[in-house]
Amino acid sequence: MTRDEAIEKARDAARSAAVLAGRAATAVDHTDRRSKVPLLAAAGAVWADVSRSYSALAAVLPKPATDDETQEV
């Protein structure tokens, strides 16, 4: 996995976490959906953890070399 791939996966996971947080917030206001709030919140928390994990991975992976940084041998 490259650094850019890890960053993209972190972004995707963060988006999923945000969507689930929004669904949980909406469900709070609807009595017929309130029972789903803990499940939605837990799923959002898992996606947030996944995002943090990919972010940590991206932080330790090397940056891709640019044309300016590539040295001819």
**Exposed e or buried b per residue across 28-45, where buried means at least 16 C-beta atoms within 10 angstroms of its C-beta:** eeeeeeeebbeebbebbe
CA pair distance 41, 23, nearest whole angstrom: 9
Provide the domain count of the chain. 1
Examine residue 30 and state whether it is found in any structural domain, yes or no: yes
In a domain, 71, yes or no: no
**70 part of a folded domain:** no
In a domain, 69, yes or no: no
Mean pLDDT of 18-28: 97
Residue 15 located in a structural domain: yes
Evaluate whether residue 67 is within a structural domain: no
Percent of the chain predicted with pLDDT > 90: 85
Calculate mean pLDDT across residues 14-26: 97
Per the structure, the complete domain to which residue 42 belongs is given by: 3-59
